């Protein structure tokens, strides 16, 4: 158990809908990362937050947004969902969010868009 | 830009065989970090090792060993006397220290390892 929690574990929804994925980092970790794992794209970095502020952005679609709250949990919002958004979404946390910090991954949320 | 290549898509071995998973990386930074993660069938990503670019010493942890060679930009992973429980997808990843990377990981495509009894 990494100490990172993600909810829900599974999510099935329809095209055009909006969903929210939630992540609680390990106790004491200030930085949260979101990654998407799909069959065609592999594991890709989406976005990083540190202590409530956005720090780095990767290949995140404009339909996706995220935030980190004062209690350090983070939410990833996916809207106008398309079939291609079906993937496993991971949240990871690290202590201060710098290169070399070990990232601890949550169990992931499997999103299926029908 | 950084890139990680794991040329072996799938490897199949019989228990007790040794197996090496290859990883080649590209980066312009002089300071960077390399990682290996394991993804068992249950789906979570498990951290195995981290190496910084200034430390080329090989590392051994039980049946696992890692060979880091800057001259060939490779960070290979060897499992000695493989076991069925080693069956998983293994990812190599790179994190640059410079610019605005802030620790984001660039992953290879992964190698599916199947160990048969």
Residues B57-97 have pLDDT tens digits of 888 889 999 999 999 999 999 999 999 999 999 999 999 87
CA distance B112 to chain A (A): 13
B43 touches chain A (CB under 8 A): yes
B100 touches chain A (CB under 8 A): yes
Are the beta carbons of A45 and B104 separated by less than 8 Å?
yes
**Which chain A residue has its CA at the smallest distance from B103's CA?**
A99
Q: Phi and psi dihedrals of B7, rounded to 5?
A: -70, -25
| pLDDT tens sequence across B19-60 | 999 999 999 988 899 999 999 999 999 999 999 898 888 888
Q: How far apart are CA A50 and CA A19, in angstroms?
A: 23
Half-sphere exposure (CA, 13 Å, Cβ side) for B104? 25
């Amino acid at each position: 158990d990494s100490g990172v929690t993600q909810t829900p574990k599974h999510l099935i929804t329809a095209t055009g809908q909006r969903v929210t994925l939630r992540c609680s980092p390990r106790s004491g970790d200030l930085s949260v990362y979101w990654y998407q794992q799909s069959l065609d794209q592999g594991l890709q970095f989406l976005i990083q937050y540190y202590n409530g502020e956005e720090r780095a952005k990767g290949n995140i679609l404009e339909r996706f947004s995220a935030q980190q709250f004062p209690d350090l949990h983070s939410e990833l919002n996916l809207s106008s969902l398309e079939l291609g958004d079906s993937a496993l979404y991971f949240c990871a946390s690290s202590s201060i969010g710098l290169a070399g910090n070990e990232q601890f991954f949550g169990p992931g949320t499997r999103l299926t868009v029908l | 830009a950084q890139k990680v290549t794991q040329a072996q898509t799938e490897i199949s071995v019989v228990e007790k065989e040794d197996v090496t998973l290859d990883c080649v990386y590209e980066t312009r930074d002089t300071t960077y970090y390399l990682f290996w993660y394991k993804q068992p069938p249950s789906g979570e990503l498990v951290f195995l090792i981290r190496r910084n670019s200034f430390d080329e010493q090989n590392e051994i942890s039980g049946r696992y060993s890692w060979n880091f060679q800057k001259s060939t930009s490779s960070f290979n992973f060897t499992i000695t006397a493989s076991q069925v429980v080693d069956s998983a997808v293994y990812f190599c990843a790179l994190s640059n220290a410079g610019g605005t990377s802030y620790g984001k990981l660039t992953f290879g495509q992964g190698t599916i390892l199947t160990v048969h009894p």
